[in-house]
Structure 1
Amino acid sequence: MSTPATTLATARRELAWPAYARGQFLLSWRVFWRNRRSTFIGFLLPVLLNLVVAAPLRDQQIAGVGAAAYSTVGFIGFALVTSFINLLNGVVARRDDLILKRLRGTEVPATAIFAGQFGAAGAVVLLQVLVLGGVAVTWFDAPLPADPVLFLLALTGGFLLFAVLAAALSGLTPSAEAAPMIATPVLLLCMFGSGVVAPLSSMPHWLQGPAHAVPLAPVVETLRTAWFGRGFGAETWAGAPLARLDLVQGWQHALPALLVIAAWTAGAAALGRRLFRWEPRHG
């Protein structure tokens, strides 16, 4: 049974939650930009890779849209994976430096700790969306997003998926030095197995089914559907242009992919409850 003092302390913590989360946000934001490695991987890498890959595709078409713009929207999805890498590194480093342990012993709620750290990573992703979206529209002649609401929903869902996955896999990461061993396979799988650059139909037939289940694949598919207003997912390099969809048809087409994103997020959350550690791993 709670006492009046306990109830009052709980109320004070709830009222102070925004301040706690803001403090964690500002700390994570400063650490990100001061670390050259995290800045390169988490911000510059998707932008630079997109310029290298998409620029030669300016005169080609995929499913009725410019191939360069098609790839650029794919790299917006890929930015979620580089965000995952930096979150994984950040969570493991804070755990090994005993920062998480000390914070857990204070009044700062666990939700505020992660809200601040995830919020800073999300702000970086939004900056990347503005940069890559600007490149798509101004340089690669892409239209403005056909359904901004669906686009933001897919982006938010994908970010939460990879943020929760980073927290979960931090429990399997023995140290910050070992984080690349966990992050690199995820990076490569999502880069080459999720249709970031080219349609999944360009892969061997026996790989196409599993590729559609890779966590980034439904995110990229929905981002393209929302941006171009066409039903992406089964497009090919040489196929006919996809039919245009109205807003209702776009949501109907995107629903299965959104459910896959939700399922992945739920699975990552369940994994995180079992694996996440507040203190360094021993042995």
Structure 2
Amino acid sequence: MNWTHYTRGQFLLSWRVFWRNRRSTFVGFLLPVLLNLVVAAPLRDKQIGGVDAAGYTTVGFIGLAMVTSFVNLLNAVVARRDELVLKRLRGTEVPPSAIFAGQLAVGGVVLLLQVLVLGAVSVGWFGAPLPADPLLLLLALTGGYLVFAGLAFALAGFTPSAETSPLVATPVLLLCMFGAGVFTPLQSLPSWLRAPAHSLPLAPVIQTLRTAWFGRDFGHETWGGAPLARLDLLHGWQSVAPGLLIVAAWAAAAVMLTRRFFRWEPRRG
């Protein structure tokens, strides 16, 4: 059996577990969609940075979907570790990379479904345009997802049990939700919080998503501020380059932490 076959088996197993678990389905799939309908709908016909505020917020919730993927992945990995599933798999001929890849693929497909749903809401209901730079959008989605997936594997090494995984995941979810510009510009935060907020892994991802979608120089927009400058494709990439470097740094840190602290067996003795 080759690596692809093993990965497919891990994917199908994780896929069934995801949709059968009501909590993972709600947090990992429905939460960003439902929150977006509640938060973004009242913002229709309002403007921020020269674009429709509802569409602007919807793109932010695409970023939040990466964090809910992190929450679900952390819970799933810790639960499989505590149930000795990972230990048993480690003792078989299934390559460790196939175990990781199968789990990652499930989160990636769920994220893609969320992007399609939220994108359809943004374009079809809120009247947002189609993405101005699909390639940059895909890069932001891929990079952001891999960062938060890596953080899930890394933090699983610090999580004592499945019962305590919400205590680890929830602060990350709340910090990203309210401190990374999901539904309000970072410029609306107190001045002393702006620099730390820009350094969070989600903030540059959301900025890149919005620049890729609307073709404008996001990052310093404010409620009631002037429309942002329109960017061609080249200047769009230049605008988000510093943020992409931050994302790359977080990805490297997540990989190093995973290699150092990830455990295949339960932490409790």
Instruction: Give TM class, smaller chain.
Output: over 0.9
Corresponding position of 1:152: 138
1:138 matched to 2:157? The reply is no
TM-score in terms of structure 2 length: 0.99
Once residues 30 and 259 of structure 1 are traced to their aligned partners in structure 2, the CA distance between those partners, rounded to angstroms, is 36
Corresponding position of 2:96: 110
Q: What whole-Å deviation, never above 9, does each CA across 1:233-263 have from its counterpart, x for those lacking one?
A: 1111121101110000001111111111000
2:146 corresponds to which letter in structure 1? Answer: L
Q: Which has the larger radius of gyration?
A: 1
1:119 matched to 2:108? The reply is no
Pairwise CA distance, 1:106: 0.6
Pairwise CA distance, 1:142: 0.3
Once residues 198 and 135 of structure 2 are traced to their aligned partners in structure 1, the CA distance between those partners, rounded to angstroms, is 23
TM-score in terms of structure 1 length: 0.94
Pairwise CA distance, 1:59: 1.8
Corresponding position of 2:67: 81
1:249 corresponds to which letter in structure 2? Answer: H
What secondary structure, in the 3-state scheme, does the structure 2 residue paired with 1:239 have?
A: coil
Q: What whole-Å deviation, never above 9, does each CA across 1:159-206 have from its counterpart, x for those lacking one?
A: 000001000000110100000100010000000000000100011111
Q: What whole-Å deviation, never above 9, does each CA across 1:110-136 have from its counterpart, x for those lacking one?
A: 100000000011000000000000000
Corresponding position of 1:177: 163
- Which of 253, 256, 260 lines up with 1:274 in the alignment? 260
Once residues 268 and 28 of structure 2 are traced to their aligned partners in structure 1, the CA distance between those partners, rounded to angstroms, is 29
Corresponding position of 2:147: 161
Corresponding position of 1:247: 233
1:199 matched to 2:211? The reply is no
Structure 2: tracts of 5 or more residues without a match: none
Q: CA RMSD in A?
A: 0.7
2:235 corresponds to which letter in structure 1? Answer: Q
Once residues 48 and 257 of structure 2 are traced to their aligned partners in structure 1, the CA distance between those partners, rounded to angstroms, is 37
Once residues 196 and 220 of structure 1 are traced to their aligned partners in structure 2, the CA distance between those partners, rounded to angstroms, is 7
Once residues 268 and 31 of structure 2 are traced to their aligned partners in structure 1, the CA distance between those partners, rounded to angstroms, is 33
Corresponding position of 1:231: 217
